Structure formats: structure tokens, C-alpha cells
Amino acid sequence: MLASTDRYYTNGLKLGIGAPFDLLQAPAAELLRQFSPRDPSGAHLGLFLGHNLYTPRNIKLSAAQPADRPWAAWLYLGGVAQRARGNRLDTVEIDVGVVGPAALGEEVQSHWHRFVGSPQPRGWDHQIPNEPGFLASYLQKRRYGDDRFGFVAHGGLTAGTVMTLGRAGGLVRYGRNMSGFGPDTIEPGGAMLHGTRASGDDGARRGTEWYVFAGADQRLVAHNIFLDGTVFRNSPAVERRPHVWDLSAGFSFRHDGVRFSWTRVHRSEEFYTAAGGGGRQRFDSLNLGIEF
């Protein structure tokens, strides 16, 4: 909505809460011990429900668009285990769900467009087919600096039928009373649980917090179901680019227990197009956290 375009990464929603009961969190916690064996009892657990939409450039065409990004949706449940110690944050997230019509992409986009008066999407009959999906992700962040100026580096791996990739990057931030490890984001491992945030910052409440930031993320992608198509069935697909980068900038603000952040992301082409540059995109990320 803010970027005034539906194309490619159209929308993503992710709702989460710190949840100590075992579901997907138990295998995530076990995997976290392999990456971060220190203090195995100190992990915090969370549960997420997420939904992503992907569409081609022109959503008004009802015909198939084999040269453009496939129509796709991803509905999933995620379990998270996370630990913060000093300047280091380790996160493991395991997501399971479904792609295809069962992920309700057509229903979500059509109802929203009807509500806001936008053109109706016409091509969902050509989306990738139903298939279960899973992925497991590990992300490590390290922060340097003080509560006014700092740098946060990150690196991680993701493997599964939905995504397989390696990533690395970082961000520079400047502000007041800075805590945490940068803004929360929707990708696996991108959000910080309240319990982890409190333990990582010694539970300190240092008044109102704000900062501005700019960062970059580089990814080497071996598989992306939303571009390569489904694993076990014939599916619409395009030729994926193995190297993708993001440039981002934004701000984060917290007062008492409410935290808000906005991020503008510029993403390089994720697949090969007839004319170079046609697959680049921009989108915004809005995050609201309530800490209790």
C-alpha cells in the first residue's frame, strides 16, 4: 500500500507471542542447542502465525503469465527458540504450512482489494498448486557500539522445501537509549521475543527509545518455491537468480511497553526477466510489538 504496487512480494502478515508450551518450539529449542550450546536452559520460546502473498507485475490479467512471477501464497505456523547473551542473539525458527489454493491467497487479496477499492486480482487460477511446506532457519546477530550509535551484523542459514539459502549483512543505527538487535522483521528469525529482549538488555527500562537505521542483506538462494515452483508437482515457475540483495532504511520507536518500527526495503531482481531491471521491487514493513 505504501509503495503503491502489488507486484512480486505483495503482502506478508505475521502474528507472534511468547509461548512456553511445546509445539514447534521443542524441536526449535533442540536445534538451537546445536548452534548455541551455552546455558541450554536459557532459551525463550515463541509461536507465530504467518501468511505471505506473491503476484506478477500485472494482477488485472486473467490469462497465464509464464514469463512473470507465479501467483503464490504461503500459510504457516512457526515455532521459535531464541537466546540473547551479551552482544549475541541466536534464533531458530521452524515453520510448517501449505502453499497453493489452500493458503487462501485469492480470498485474502480479493477481500482486501474490495475493502479498499483497489482493482481485483484476476490471475489466481494460475497459482502454484497445493503442497505442504516446511523450513528451518538459524539466524545469529551480533551488536557493537553503545546506546547512541552502533552496528548490528547478522548471518544465517535456511533449509527446507519452501526456501534454501544462506545470508549475511548488517545495519548501522543511531538514536537514543537503543536496545535490542535492530528492528523486528517478518523473515524467519527476524523478530525478537519480549523475554529475550528483557534478558539481553538486563531487563532495563531506560525511558523512551528511538533510532534510525540503514542496512543491507545479501542472500545466496538455492531454492525458492515461489519462483522454482512446487517440489513434488508440476507448477508455474520462472528462472531464479541465485544472488539477491536488499537495501533498507527506517526508524524504530518505543515508549513504555509499546514498540513500533517502519522499514523501506529495495530488493534486487529475484528472477531473470526479458529486460534487466524489470524484476526489482520496493516494499514497506510495519511492525508493532507490545511487551508485557
Q: Where are the domains of the chain?
A: 8-290
Q: What's the CATH number for 8-290? A: 2.40.128.140
Q: Report residue 133 CA to chain centroid gap.
A: 16
pTM of the model: 0.90
pLDDT of res. 56: 92
pLDDT of res. 275: 64
Asked whether 58 and 65 are in contact (CB, 8 A), the reply is yes
Between CA 93 and CA 78 the distance in angstroms is: 6
**Average pLDDT per block of 10 residues along the chain, 292 residues long:** 74 85 82 75 86 91 89 95 90 96 93 87 93 96 94 97 97 94 90 76 71 97 96 92 96 91 94 76 89 72
pLDDT of res. 38: 64
Single-letter code of the amino acid located at 26:
A
Backbone angles phi, psi at 278, to 5 degrees: -70, -20
Neighbours of 72 (CB within 10 A): 26
pLDDT of res. 102: 96
pLDDT of res. 175: 96
Neighbours of 66 (CB within 10 A): 11
